[in-house]
Structure 1
């Protein structure tokens, strides 16, 4: 529990904010257009990042069950939020809320925090948990986002073109068949995780560089904060308590799942919103607000949740 001190999170937060700042400088000073970078992340860097992780991780049925559980949980939350918010928000705002409700910054922000508070065996478990959330982002999440801007057929066509789905299936097939890639090729893929983190956070800064006061939407941002720091902590705590009741899961797994519930909004909210043209400026502001709240809330939330789940 000593690793949950706010000071221990200073490094990850400063790293995150420095990347956001670099994005802001790049857009304002160098006139760099973030749209091609968002496309590059969605269609190239993200698929290769997770393909590499799967090929290195050697997925087992137990690990893949974690992926499935988190995929189902993320999808269920997003679809429920979509059904509710479309009554009270416009089509694009509802789509943005639905997408963001099912995911969080489990990679760019959550992984550095996981390295601080989780034991070694918990890191692998955490990676397969966030894989389920990432698959949600680029399947169900992408669909509910696109439905705020495109028809059903157009939305499904966009999903069919997403290479991350095929990268996931290819990695599973290759590991099941015992196919290994040459060491030199796997080594060459090592650059992608860091690139994924750097460009993913810079996208927020690039988008914020074009934000005006007119983009501030208190109702939308308030809903995003409530979903991220209200619904998700309760959802992950419920998952842990249920799994403890049925399977007597190890403490590192429980800690990994609980961490998923307290990270800020996903930077991919901005990436996907930009790719689909659905309120990226509003999304960037909401991501920034929840990120700034994270170092204050994470120690408190995890302390309470660990105690309630018997880990404290």
Structure 2
């Protein structure tokens, strides 16, 4: 498996160029990122997840991966939320808690997975990613909303998220062995690319509105530390434990390790913008972690593959 910087540099620079494109669009064309954030949350993300599930033909083993990642990310976020409220204000704590349970597994990580993993590995990666998506739009969204809204208001907002219903519908259709017509599935192919493009562009659009007083060193350091210290160590431990219990396939091990080294989720900005909780601070933290990715991803993956014997 080639993890050299030259192999990953092209796709990584492409993703960063989408951020720059969003910045230019907002500055030169006065594009408002808020409607795009709403579009991502309520239309593009649900249809992207629905298509992934319909293409993946979920089995019990795949759904166990989804459930395990959902439980793991939820546990991390709930723990961080409890600790962060002692140190940060309610908005910052909510945003930090949300970001701690997720990463840019879709907009950023999926193109990398398509380069590094065989088809079986990509499928495993997708179902792990779905567990993280499910966390984002349930537990993560609730924790973020609680920084701004009451418990009842937060639950009402979650109940209106179409991603939950798209997830349930795809599982129901799969259980009934119902396949959508080929033209319908073909028409859904545009959404994953739109998901990546707009998800990265929205970081740049938000950064175009950032003022210097939005910089918060403590907050950025906490976000980046959770993403690039806690997650790699935690997932390395998970892979080693799973491999000790039963032989772990190289594809699954690589998928899990890749999930742990992607930068902060662009959805930190999307959710913050949708809920009105410090999107500028979130955008700065996401930008720092994204700029570090071309340096850290090859380094971290090479080291972890060596330690686990999966390389």
Q: Which band: TM-score by shorter chain?
A: over 0.9
Aligned residues: 311
Q: Deviations over 1:190-229 (max 9, x none)?
A: 1111111111111101100000111111000000110000
Tell me, in whole angstroms, the C-alpha distance in 1 between the residues paired with 2:166 and 2:244: 34
Q: Which residue of structure 1 aligns with residue 28 of structure 2?
A: 29
Q: Does 1:248 align with 2:222?
A: no
User: Structure 1 residues 230-239 or 39-48, which shifts more?
Assistant: 230-239
Q: Does 1:112 align with 2:95?
A: no
RMSD: 0.9
Q: Does 1:260 align with 2:259?
A: yes
Tell me, in whole angstroms, the C-alpha distance in 2 between the residues paired with 1:48 and 1:118: 24
Any residues of structure 2 matched to 1:41-56 within 5 Å, and which?
Answer: 41-56=40-55
Q: Does 1:226 align with 2:208?
A: no
Q: Which residue of structure 1 aligns with residue 5 of structure 2?
A: 6
User: Structure 1 residues 141-150 or 112-121, which shifts more?
Assistant: 112-121
User: Structure 1 residues 3-12 or 279-288, which shifts more?
Assistant: 3-12
Q: Which residue of structure 2 aligns with residue 163 of structure 1?
A: 162
Deviation (angstroms), 1:246: 2.0
Moved over 2 A (4+): none
Any residues of structure 2 matched to 1:1-312 within 5 Å, and which?
Answer: 1=1, 3-312=2-311
Tell me, in whole angstroms, the C-alpha distance in 2 between the residues paired with 1:45 and 1:189: 10
Tell me, in whole angstroms, the C-alpha distance in 2 between the residues paired with 1:223 and 1:166: 33
SS where residue 87 of structure 2 aligns?
A: coil
SS where residue 254 of structure 2 aligns?
A: helix
Question: Please, which runs of 5 or more residues in structure 1 have no aligned partner?
Answer: none
Taking structure 2 as the reference length, what is the TM-score of the superposition?
Answer: 0.98
Tell me, in whole angstroms, the C-alpha distance in 2 between the residues paired with 1:26 and 1:304: 38
Question: Please, which runs of 5 or more residues in structure 2 have no aligned partner?
Answer: none
Tell me, in whole angstroms, the C-alpha distance in 2 between the residues paired with 1:292 and 1:67: 28
Tell me, in whole angstroms, the C-alpha distance in 2 between the residues paired with 1:59 and 1:205: 35
